Amino acid sequence: MIKGCSLPGDVEIPTGTAYIYHSELILGDRRVIMSDHVDIEFQTCYSNFLTIMYDTKEEVQRAYEIMKKGSTTMFAGVVREKTGAISMYRLFPDKEINCTKIRILRKDGKYISALVLSPKSGHKNAPGILWIHGGGYMTGMKEMVHMSRAVDLVKTYGAVVISPGYRLSFMAPYPAAIEDCYDALLYLKKHKDDLGINKDQIMAGGESAGGGLCAALCMLARDRREVNIAYQMPLYPMLDNFDTESSADNHGKVWNTRRNHMAWKVYLRKHAKEVVSPYAAPARQNDYSGLPPAYTFVGDGEPFYSETCTFIENLKKAGVEADMDIYQTNMHAFDMIKPEEPLSQKAAMKFNTHFEYALEHYFAINN
């Protein structure tokens, strides 16, 4: 029998969400200790923490068993609401790209694990992109880059992408994640020659909380003046620790009000409902001048719709080129959850079109 473990802080796990945390399956506000052990490789590749959406206890246990069997090959799973159908996504590199594991030195002397994605055909003077995974700041892993828009940027446009395994908020709240991402950004600039990137086309992107970290990173980079970012791609970003018109009472698929409240509480702890630094919650920013040009897309029925629209509007008011596409769906991260759907394919095509424009028009001089 696996020994139980205590969750950091006074975190409440809402009904409707399950977590595997240090070999312990937590269901709603109760815990179920699994009789089997979770092997070390499984824990490592999931950073000891994984979220599963579920409808019933039986569905979660079924998903857990399936995922445990696939632990050595790294799977992410989502139990789709109502139907209970399980959709599994293999987090392997695309066969047409190279994937290398690296370690990035943090300011405290410890290391950030990261992945470098690059084209097999070789690269020179390529755009260098820091792509940040999502997961509400508290879940997720660097391997999620393999199911992200970043893969297209490598395969189609020859970009070099770094995906950092930043510290998750259950173990280390703000500012751990943003400081890890900033250290990864410095690495990208410092190793520009080794990576074969154009120092004047350093970009940032990410989904959901990764989009929030992308927006925060651009603000932090502007203010610290060590790296100039040419373009930002914060997709359906998690920006606002306060309720908005779309996040206040949202029951959308994948992400909703309940999960959003919990995620901000874990990330910001006792400051979750306070006015915090824009590096923690980018929606608190008052000065959008000098930020990189931006593109994003979002569903009109998902929690982050309003804050995404406000973010783009504020950039435009500050004279920053910014654009967004809005899609009719209440599924957060629909392009990752259902990539085969026509709506997802349309979003991917428009995303690529905007990136093509960015390649031709957006540069930021770095010494």
The tens digit of pLDDT for each residue in 49-63 reads 334 444 445 545 555
- Region of poorest pLDDT, from 15-19, 31-35, 140-144, 199-203: 31-35
At residue 170, the pLDDT reads 81
Enumerate residues 6+ apart whose C-beta is below 8 A from 185: 130, 202, 204, 217, 221, 227, 229
At residue 92, the pLDDT reads 74
Q: What percent of the chain has pLDDT over 90?
A: 69
Domains of the chain with bracketed CATH = 17-90 (no CATH), 97-361 (3.40.50.1820)
At residue 326, the pLDDT reads 98
- Residue pair 101/164 in contact by the 8 Å Cβ criterion: no
- Residue pair 34/25 in contact by the 8 Å Cβ criterion: yes
At residue 124, the pLDDT reads 85
pLDDT at 26 over 70: no
Average pLDDT of span 262-278: 95
pLDDT at 21 over 70: no
Whole-structure pTM value: 0.81
pLDDT at 298 over 60: yes
Walk across the sheet containing 17-21 and list its strands.
30-32, 24-27, 17-21, 49-53
At residue 41, the pLDDT reads 26
At residue 91, the pLDDT reads 65
pLDDT at 88 over 90: no
Q: Which of 159, 272, 168 is nearest to 213 (CA)?
A: 168
- Using pLDDT thresholds of 50, 70 and 90, give the confidence band for residue 12: very low
The tens digit of pLDDT for each residue in 170-184 reads 889 999 999 999 999
The tens digit of pLDDT for each residue in 323-365 reads 999 999 999 999 998 899 999 999 999 999 999 999 999 999 9
Average pLDDT of span 257-285: 96
Report the range out of 4-8, 106-110, 350-354 with the highest average pLDDT: 350-354
pLDDT at 87 over 90: no
Burial class (CB in 10 A: 0-12, 13-18, 19+), 260: buried
- Region of poorest pLDDT, from 34-48, 201-215, 302-316: 34-48
- The mean pLDDT value of the chain amounts to 82
The tens digit of pLDDT for each residue in 192-249 reads 999 999 999 999 999 999 999 999 999 999 999 999 999 999 999 999 999 999 999 9
